Every structure is written in C-alpha cells, then in structure tokens.
Structure 1
Amino acid sequence: MQGDPEVIEFLNEQLTAELTAINQYFLHAKMQENFGWPKLAKHTRAESFDEMKHAEILTDRILFLDGLPNYQRLFHVRIGQTVTEMFQADRQVEVEAIDRLKRGVEVMRAKGDITSANIFESILEDEESHIDYLDTQLDLVEKLGEPLYLAQLIEQPDS
C-alpha cells in the first residue's frame, strides 16, 4: 500500500528517535549495573526493550506503506555520568518524543491515515508513562539527595 510521503517521514523520524533511545537507555543500564545499581539497571534495560518494540512496530508500518525504514540515522545520544544526569538525559528524549508524536498524530489524521495515527497514540501513551517514571525519580533524588536515593538501589550479593 502506497503511503503518504509526509506520514512516512514522520514514521521514520520517530524510528530514528526510538533507535537512539534504545542505545541511550541500554548504555545507561550497563553503566548502572557497573556502578552497582542492579535494581535501576533492570528497569532501564526494560525501557530500552520497550523502545525496541516501538522500533519494530514503526518498521513494520513503514514497510507496509512501501517506505524504507531508515536505520542509518541516529539523533544525539545523551549519556549522563550521575544518576541525576541519566534521568535528565532520558527525560529529554521523552519530551522530544512526546512533541513529535503529537505533531505526527495531527498530520496523520489530517491525511486520513488512522492506523499510523493510532500507532503513534499507542507509543505516546508509553512515552508519557516513561516520563512520569522519570519525573518521579528526579523528584525523589531532589528530596532525598543522590546518596540516599542510590542507597535504596544497592543489593548485596548472596553469600
């Protein structure tokens, strides 16, 4: 099925964002694991996998519309050095995604591509959930301070 070029471009732009987020979240998860924060690393890794699912859905839709998914492009990967910087960097990715998804839904609906709009709305719901989690964590870090916040994330190895 031949898709609208503007819709395909929005789908590809969001695909680029998802591929970037996969890398950013995965590296943050590996860093968190290395820093001894396994609980946080597990959650961040799951977020990376969520973004991978989004990338798969977008890829399928682009191909269905006879477009070519662009896997060669990435946005800037923002890597934090502290837990606060990681959360802030990840939050920025989500803020940008939410704006892009909302704009995309409007364009897709105006062009009559309800299925693509529904896909964007589903991804939007997930991204709003991600940003809610990040806002909560940033609020906790602010209230508790990084050392106390991180103390909750440390697990002792089994003896």
Structure 2
Amino acid sequence: MQGNQTIIDLLNAQLTLELTSMDQYLAHSKMYEDWGIEQLHHKLAHEYEEELDHAKRIIERILFLEGVPDTASRKAIHVGCNVEEMLANDLNAEREVAAHLKKVISECEKAQDYVSREILQTLLDDTEMDHIYWLEQHINMIKLMGLPNYIQSQMAQGHE
C-alpha cells in the first residue's frame, strides 16, 4: 500500500530514535554487568530488547507503506560515566522518544493514517508507562536512599 511520504519520513526519524536508544541501553547494560550491578544489567538488557521490538514494528509499518526503512542512521548516544548519569541520560533519551512519538502520532492523525497512529500509540504507552516511569522511580530512589544504598539494592538478584 503506497503510504504518505511525510509519514514514512517521520517513521524513519522515529526508527532512528528507537535504534539510538537501543544502542545506549546496550552500552549501559554491559557497563552495569561489568560493575556487578546485576539488577540494572538485567533491566537495561530488557529495555534493549523492547527498543528492538519497537524498531521492528516501525520497520514493518514502513515496509507496508512501501517505504525504505533507514536502519543505519543514529543520533549520538550519551553513555554515562556513573549510575546517576547513566539513568539521567536514559531518561533524557526516552523523553526525546516520547516527544517525537507524540509529533508523529499527531501527523498520522492529520494524514488519516490510523493504523500507524495506533502502532505508535502502543509504543508511546510503553515508553511513558514503562521506560520513563521506571527511570523516574529509580532516580527518585537515589534521592531517597542515597547512591551507595541504591547501588547495593541493585546488586542482589530478585529486586527490580
């Protein structure tokens, strides 16, 4: 089905953001693993997989609209040097993803591309209700309990 080129371009821009977040989560996940912070390692490995799923959904939609998915482009990733910086960088990345999703959803509405809008709404729900919410919770936990206690709480298996 021949799609609206503006929507295809916006979907490709969203794909770039999802792939960039995926790369950042992979880097942070492996850093947490190296530092022995297992809970953060597992959580961010899971987030990497979710970003990959988001990218797959967008690619499938671009292909359905007879567009060419841009799987090569990335924005600069922001790898942190410590736990607080890493969580803050991930939160900033997710907020950028959410803001762009809202823009694309709005444009899909204008173009009457309701299927793309629905796919993107699902991604937005996941981004806001899972990724952003979790990151805000954990940044707040650091404020409440202090960084050393937070890190210790993330080292043991069975906590999230």
TM range (shorter): over 0.9
Identity of aligned residues (%): 34
Q: Offset at 1:154? A: 1.9
Partner of 1:149: 150
CA distance in 1, matches of 2:104, 2:95: 14
CA distance in 1, matches of 2:61, 2:49: 19
Q: Offset at 1:38? A: 0.8
Partner of 1:85: 85
Match of 1:146, as an amino acid?
L
Partner of 1:34: 34
Q: Deviations over 1:63-98 (max 9, x none)?
A: 110100001210111101111101100001111111
Is 1:95 the equivalent of 2:107?
no
The number of residue pairs the alignment matches comes to 156
CA distance in 2, matches of 1:10, 1:17: 11
Gaps of 5+ in 2: none
- Normalised by the size of structure 1, how large is the TM-score? 0.96
Q: Offset at 1:146? A: 0.9
Match of 1:10, as an amino acid?
L
Q: Offset at 1:155? A: 3.4
Match of 1:102, as an amino acid?
K
Partner of 1:112: 112
- Normalised by the size of structure 2, how large is the TM-score? 0.95
Match of 1:100, as an amino acid?
H
Measured on the aligned residues, the alpha-carbon RMSD in Å equals: 1.0
Is 1:45 the equivalent of 2:45?
yes
Match of 2:152, as an amino acid?
A
Partner of 1:134: 135
Q: Deviations over 1:6-55 (max 9, x none)?
A: 10011101100111111100110000000010111001100000000000
Query: Secondary structure of 1:127's match?
Result: helix
CA distance in 2, matches of 1:155, 1:34: 14
Query: Secondary structure of 1:97's match?
Result: helix
Which runs of 4 or more aligned residues in structure 1 lie more than 3 Å from their structure 2 counterparts after TM superposition?
A: none
